[in-house]
Structure 1
Amino acid sequence: MRLWSVHPMYFDRQALTACWREGLLAQAVIAEPGRGYSRHPQLRRFQETDDPRAAIGDYLSAVVDEADARGYRFNRDKIRTTGYQRKLLVNSGQLGYEWGHLLAKLERRSPVAWQRWRDLRVPDPHPSFTVITGPIAEWEKIVTDDVAHGSRRITGQQEA
């Protein structure tokens, strides 16, 4: 499961579709604790809010907004609730790590998208997040074969 901290405008079709599906799975797990994946580390940011259902709903709403802008037909009615109206926090290191991870995926499967974004050093966060200074999140599973920004391998919990 990958609930990206980067803005969905950077996603290729595959990432946007996967984020939608995985976000819907996260919504189901949050709505029914104890269900499969309920301990998935990426859910923590939503589960630790005072209204996890609305927080994940707002996250999904931004994904649907991007899909709508591209002419895709994601069913907004699948979002159970929204209205968290606060931003979640994401560390700059986490956002940087995810950006490198996404760029590596784009380079392999969507060269046009990769070409468009490859020189961007700091992406906008997903609309649900505000960026604060800090390292890669402790819950992140580091992928050692992705090269962040084309310059180095990320091999541990370090600031990106």
Structure 2
Amino acid sequence: MRLWSLHPSVLDRAALVACWREALLAQKVLEGGTRGYRSHPQLLRFRDHPAPVEAVGAFLTGLHREATDRGYSFDRSRIHEQVGPGDVPSIEVTDGQLGYELGHLRGKVAHRAEEWLPRLPSDDGPVPAHPLFTVTSGPVEPWEVVPPTGTA
């Protein structure tokens, strides 16, 4: 499961579609609708939110807006709590996490959609976050599963 902290506009088509699908699964998990993935590390920040289901709804809404802007037809009715990212308390994400995710995305895009590479932010500039998140200074988030150096 990869619930990108990056702004949806940074995601290539495959990442945006996969994030949508996985966020729908996260919504089901947070609502208690499935027993799988309940302890997935990517869900910790949503579980810790004062309103977890609303937070994942806001996350999905941000993805839906980007998909709509690109002409994709994601089914908005699948978002159970239809709130915007500004309608719930934000979730903090570190700039280190965003940098890690950008590198991870860059590696994936290099293999599946090289034409998207120029659209990715540079490593030396700010990395935009999903509108649900507020960026703070810090390392990669403790919940992130970082493979040992030399693998991935």
TM-score, length-normalised on structure 2?
Answer: 0.90
Does the CA-based 8 Å contact 1:88-1:129 persist in structure 2?
yes
What residue in structure 2 maps to residue 92 of structure 1?
95
Unaligned runs of 5+ in 2: none
What residue in structure 2 maps to residue 148 of structure 1?
none
What residue in structure 2 maps to residue 123 of structure 1?
127
CA distance in 1, matches of 2:122, 2:51: 37
Q: Structure 1 residues 28, 38: closer, same or farther in 2, change over 3 A?
A: same
Q: Which residue identity is paired with 2:145?
A: K
Does the CA-based 8 Å contact 2:93-2:135 persist in structure 1?
yes
What residue in structure 2 maps to residue 101 of structure 1?
104
1:130-157 residue CA offsets vs partner (Å, 9 max, x unmatched): 0001111111111357xxxxxxx799xx
What residue in structure 1 maps to residue 136 of structure 2?
132
CA distance in 2, matches of 1:7, 1:102: 12
CA distance in 1, matches of 2:121, 2:5: 17
Q: Which residue identity is paired with 2:90?
A: K
Q: State how 1:33-52 maps to structure 2 within 5 Å.
A: 35-52=35-52
Q: In percent, how many aligned pairs have the same letter?
A: 43
CA distance in 1, matches of 2:110, 2:14: 13
4+ aligned runs moved over 4 Å, structure 1: none
Q: Structure 1 residues 93, 119: closer, same or farther in 2, change over 3 A?
A: closer
Does the CA-based 8 Å contact 2:28-2:34 persist in structure 1?
no
Q: Which residue identity is paired with 1:25?
A: L
The equivalent position to 1:111 in structure 2, one of 101, 107, 114, is 114
Does the CA-based 8 Å contact 2:6-2:129 persist in structure 1?
yes
1:84-131 residue CA offsets vs partner (Å, 9 max, x unmatched): 522100011111101111111111111111123263533210011000
What residue in structure 2 maps to residue 58 of structure 1?
58
In the alignment of these two chains, the number of paired residues is 148
CA distance in 2, matches of 1:73, 1:120: 31
What value does the CA root-mean-square deviation take over the aligned residues?
Answer: 2.0
The equivalent position to 1:141 in structure 2, one of 138, 145, 151, is 145
Unaligned runs of 5+ in 1: 146-152, 156-160
